[in-house]
Amino acid sequence: MHTPAGAEDPIAAIFDLSDRVAEMAPTMRRMYRYTATVVVLFIVIMAFLLLVSLAHDLFLALVALVAIAFGVIALGLLRETDRFYRAYVERQRSIKLLQDAEPSPKIPEGPTPVQRLARYLAQSNPKIAAYLSSHPDSLRYRVELPGKGGTFGFDLLLVAPGDRMYQYFGSGDPGFAVLARAGPDSPTVQDLDRFAQELRAVARKLPAKVSRAILLRPHAGPLPEAVYDYAIGHPIELGESRIAVEIVTEQADGTYDFIPHVLGVP
């Protein structure tokens, strides 16, 4: 009697299958672009046919109008399919990062907790490291940012501005922004909620999409269950995006504790 494939270690088999699907991402993207181009050309041709036939053949014009409607529906379904697959690939990327991540990230050397956090972000994220190597002035400490209702202080700000299309029209490369604040050793739900409100207030003034919001605890202390539940289950709504309030704690053994553990962002 043969054991079905994957029965020995079903979890590993599921991950392997997910990896194989994610590897098809470039092919799926090409298929989407080619198919979308064909559908758009079809809609353009039908629109031209509709204009030409309006004065001569109403039946043909009606057929062209129906064809345009079906083309628009097909294009919408294509976009939804592409959006789903991109979300799947992003989810798989997060799973892979979690699998490969160090269980207990070491705290790097540095004179202050905020500077140590900045060094950790650069060491653990190639995108941040690459940007900082060419734009070291993009990292700032103890900044006051304007926002709705006043100005708000943050202990760390890292901004990689989005392109012109994003800054003027909200589409295109959004860049990324990371904000952090040194919080109390035992934060309350009110502390997290105030941090989220102030972040929403300044987010629209930044030239990049806010990717990470970190509340840093320099010393490990008891974390109330309500605070844990808030951090896990109450993401910050920033327009069309949602990000978690990350509680990052420096522990006595020289490692970081993350609630939640956000990987691969930006």
Question: What's the count of helices (H) and strands (E) in the chain, helices before strands?
Answer: 8, 8
Q: How crowded is residue 10: how many other Cβ atoms within 10 Å of its Cβ?
A: 10
Task: Select from 85, 114, 232, 125 the least CA-distant residue to 183.
Answer: 114
Separation between Cα atoms, residue 114 and residue 56, nearest integer Å: 73
Give residue 11's pLDDT: 58
Q: In what order do the strands lie in the sheet with 139-147?
A: 139-147, 150-160, 176-182, 210-217, 245-250, 256-259
**Mean pLDDT, residues 92-105 taken together:** 69
- Over residues 212-216, mean pLDDT: 94
Q: What is the mean pLDDT of the chain?
A: 86
Judge whether 64 and 48 are in contact, CB under 8 Å.
no
Residues 38-58, buried b or exposed e (16+ Cβ, 10 A)?
ebeebbeebeebbeebeeeee
Longest CA pairwise span in the chain (Å): 83
Q: Which of 42-51, 85-94, 220-229 has the lowest mean pLDDT?
A: 85-94
pLDDT (tens digit per residue) in 111-135 = 999 999 999 999 888 889 999 999 9
Q: State the pLDDT at residue 149.
A: 82
48 pLDDT exceeds 90?
yes
Residues 220-241: pLDDT tens digits?
878 889 999 989 888 888 877 8
Q: What global pTM score does this model have?
A: 0.68
Higher pLDDT, 264 or 176: 176
User: What distance in Å separates the CA atoms of residue 6 and residue 17, rounded to the nearest whole number?
Assistant: 10
**Banded pLDDT at 100 (limits 50, 70, 90):** low
pLDDT at 4 over 60: no
The pLDDT of residue 125 is 86
Cα(220)–Cα(228) distance, integer angstroms: 14
pLDDT, tens digit, for every residue of 169-201? 776 788 999 999 999 888 999 999 999 999 999
